[in-house]
Amino acid sequence: MNSELGPEDLVTPTYPPDCAVLIALPTSYEDFVGDVEAMPKRGHYIWTVVRDYGEIDKGWEKIGKKVATLCLEVANVALEAGAKVYRQAGLSQLKDAARSHRVIVIVGHWRRPEVHSSDFRVGPDIFLTMQLAAAEKSLIEFETLVQLILRSA
């Protein structure tokens, strides 16, 4: 191994076309109203705004418009850089983004800092199972590589 290599040489850059930005919050008044009408399917953010402000229009003016403006700014920066942007993103857009992008950024609302098993539509153990399978495959590949090196020595 070349001792002149540093950590920066081991990092593979990710370029904007390899990135997807999923905007999971309403970016217009129409989307905001649509999310209110779709409660609870569209989530906790809309429920919180309506609860806190009592009226759709008041919630839009007090918080919704500001959040939408920030989301649109993020979307514009990402688009200008060359990333793919999904608006009104849900699980199907996440699935699509995961198929074709190395990096996924989700702009959304979360209820609290903790993540509980009830926050997932599938049990969290599926992630552990997938990670263990990937680790086992990597270990097998590593062991095979070691055996090939030892044979050639």
pLDDT tens per residue across span 31-77:
999 888 887 776 678 888 888 898 889 999 999 999 999 999 999 99
Confidence bin at 122 (pLDDT 50/70/90): low
Task: Give the integer Cα–Cα distance in Å for 19 and 52.
Answer: 35
Mean pLDDT of the chain: 80
Q: Are 46 and 108 in contact (CB under 8 A)?
A: no
pLDDT of 1 higher than 50: no
pLDDT above 90 covers what percent of the chain?
36
